[in-house]
Amino acid sequence: MKQRLRNSIWGLQIPHKVKHMIWRASHNAIPTLCNLWKRKAVNSIQCSRCLTGSEDTVHALWSCPALYVIWQGNKVLTKLLRYEFDTFSDLLGMVFLLKERVDTNLLAIIFWLIWSKRNSDRCGDKFVKITHIRGRANTLLQDFLAAQNPQYQPNTESVRAVRWIPPILPHYKVNFDGACFTTEGAAGLGAMICDASDKVFRALAQRIKNLISAATMEALTCRRAMFLAKDEGVLDCIFEGDA
């Protein structure tokens, strides 16, 4: 089992620094708060992202509720969230068994970016937002594969059109969009709040008489969607636009 996991990790088509980090994580050898606490280097093991769980390797890279927005775009990974894994190597073992349905190269880079963001946040540095990690990981993977093989063609599965995915309990999802109608000299915006069962909780549509720029329209629409969620008492939500 250990040899198989080792071969799977080092056989990934990803940068070496990512393989090295995944290898260390599989041996519980990254400085999570739980590991630092065992060495008496910190006084608390509470995750700084969700403020509810203990930050071990599985929590830091996979099961923290703050990371759910990353996994909800993949049905297989969403189902895996229902299971509890004692160690990160257990999770990796399951993922590699499902490699026909999960892009393990992409997932490894996502794990690496999650850990990089965690470290940057603790140091007060700026890093890519959690909601952008999957897209950033895909770009890094495509660039790496293209550099290794000039004849490489990007994986169309990775760049296919995005479809709407319902949120994971207990989150809500707020979708919003705006449009400008130049012939009428007006604009319009809309927003919709959906729950995890794919049901519409609240929606609105608003017409704006004065024509404004597309960028201003998107910003105004996002602001209106945030006020809608606040007015309805929906605080644990994910905002999604098309800009």
The pLDDT tens digits of the residues spanning 109-166 come to 999 999 999 998 888 777 788 999 999 999 999 989 888 776 655 555 454 445 677 7
CA distance to 166, 225, 236, per residue, from 231 (Å): 21, 10, 13
CA distances from residue 153 to 119, 150, 203 in whole angstroms, order as listed: 33, 9, 41
pTM of the prediction? 0.63
198 with 215: CB under 8 angstroms? no
**Whole-number average pLDDT of the chain:** 87
Could you give the 3-state DSSP secondary structure of residue 75? helix
Looking at residue 154, its pLDDT comes to 59
- Residue 108 corresponds to which amino acid? A
Q: 207 has which bridge partners?
A: 188
Range list of β-strands (E), the chain:
172-181, 186-194, 200-208, 237-240
Say which DSSP state 178 is in.
E
Q: Does pLDDT of 85 surpass 50?
A: yes
Instruction: State residue 127's pLDDT score.
Output: 79
Between CA 158 and CA 223 the distance in angstroms is 30
Is the pLDDT at 33 greater than 90, yes or no? yes
Per residue in 96-108, pLDDT tens? 999 999 999 999 9
> What is the per-residue pLDDT across 163-186, written as a single tens digit (0 to 9) for each?
677 787 778 899 988 887 766 677
Residue 65 main-chain phi, psi, to 5 deg: -55, -30
Return the structure tokens found at 37: 């606490």
Answer for the pair 19, 26: CB distance below 8 angstroms, yes or no.
no
Q: What is the pLDDT of residue 179?
A: 81
Residue 240: half-sphere exposure toward Cβ, Cα within 13 Å? 19
